[in-house]
Amino acid sequence: MKNTFPLPPDHLGRRRFLKSGSLLTLASLVWPTRTSAVPLGGGCEPTTDDILGPYYLAGSPMTTLVAAANEPGTRLFISGTVLSNDCQTPIPEARIEVWQANDAAVYDTSAAFNLRATFFSDENGAYAFESIVPGAYLNGAQYRPKHIHFRVNKPGFPELITQLYFDGDPFIAADPWASTPDAAARIIPLNDIGEDQLEGAFDIILDGQVGIKPNRFGTDGDLLPVHPNPMVDRCSIHFNVFHTARVAIHIADMNGRMLITLQDEQLSQGRYTTQWDGRDANGNFTAVGTYLCLLQMDGRPVKAQRIIRS
């Protein structure tokens, strides 16, 4: 069962903390001292990774006020503790980067760094920030649930790239990332604290393994589910590019023989779509059967999806 911090008597502590931009007085000023170090998501497993997404920007400002005071949307307070995987040892000075879509489900990738922030956990491993509830946006043929991206770094621990989701979101069940069983501890309840404000708690458990642990979703790009699949006349292929690279989309048979290259060009960070009409490179229609859609970046294979041609 997921727990949440008890509510403070008023929001004055939050406001003073966020305006100061310091985490040094977090435990006494914002939320009461916790009586247990058990992670809010339950269990004692490290927080699982998730897709980086195409909208990460390095160099976000040092602040805990992720959403400016005039940003439209429901105000959201998120807090938690960064812990080692014994679920007891706090990790101070963990660098936390967060980024998200706005209330209209749009990411700002301008130099303004809107809805992006960097901050550190305090000496007790505690962190907190204020933002707004992000919108759910259409990603290919389906909506992505509302989410906030996290990138957490601390020397001696593998980098964690993950996403935070929210209880009751109707798009979680169909989402290929939020619906995975190990994302359950990253789906948190939100409490209504009045005045169009919500709060939630998210403990981050870092893996105790020293060294580099690759994100299982990769940090280069991602190939989303093909739609429609099975296909008859044509299908749409949606893919994300996380950094500038030479990007190729190939169609191959199940023996790995390349049939056609749909795209092969230098692309910048972003989300893209191409289509396949069932033909090979010679313009001939392929037979009914199963094929592979392959995403390559800078000549390296990133991901493959099966396409059923009926």
> Residues 70-111: pLDDT tens digits?
999 999 999 999 999 888 999 999 999 999 999 999 999 999
Residue that wins the pLDDT comparison between 303 and 203: 203
Identify the weakest region by mean pLDDT among 46-55, 63-72, 158-167, 207-216.
207-216
- In this model, does residue 9 exceed pLDDT 60? no
For the chain, give every residue range classified as CATH 2.60.130.10.
Answer: 12-205
For the chain, give every residue range classified as CATH 2.60.40.4070.
Answer: 221-309
Residue that wins the pLDDT comparison between 211 and 148: 148
Predicted confidence at residue 151, as pLDDT, reads: 97
Residue that wins the pLDDT comparison between 211 and 295: 295
Residue that wins the pLDDT comparison between 271 and 198: 198
Q: Which fold has domain 221-309?
A: Immunoglobulin-like (2.60.40)
Predicted confidence at residue 278, as pLDDT, reads: 96
The question of whether 147 is a catalytic residue gets the answer yes
Please report which confidence band the pLDDT of residue 210 belongs to, taking 50, 70 and 90 as the band edges: low
- Which amino acid, 108? D
Predicted confidence at residue 263, as pLDDT, reads: 95
Among the CATH numbers 3.90.79.10, 3.30.70.2740, 2.60.130.10, 2.60.40.420, which is that of 12-205? 2.60.130.10
The question of whether 144 is a catalytic residue gets the answer yes
Q: What is the pLDDT of residues 193-204, one digit of tens each?
A: 999 999 999 999
Mean pLDDT for the chain overall: 85
The catalytic position among 75, 144, 151, 186 is 144
Residue that wins the pLDDT comparison between 21 and 79: 79
Q: What is the pLDDT of residues 230-245, one digit of tens each?
A: 999 999 999 989 889 9
Say if residue 76 is exposed, middle or buried (CB neighbours under 10 Å; 0-12, 13-18, 19+). buried
The question of whether 107 is a catalytic residue gets the answer yes
Mean pLDDT value of segment 46-64: 93
- In this model, does residue 69 exceed pLDDT 50? yes
Identify the weakest region by mean pLDDT among 150-154, 187-191, 210-214, 304-308.
210-214
The catalytic position among 11, 56, 75, 107 is 107
Task: Give dist(CA 155, CA 157) in Å, integer.
Answer: 6
The catalytic position among 75, 147, 238, 271 is 147
Predicted confidence at residue 45, as pLDDT, reads: 87
Predicted confidence at residue 16, as pLDDT, reads: 43
The catalytic position among 149, 151, 238, 309 is 149
The question of whether 149 is a catalytic residue gets the answer yes
Q: Position of tokens 């692309």?
A: 267
The catalytic position among 137, 186, 238, 291 is 137
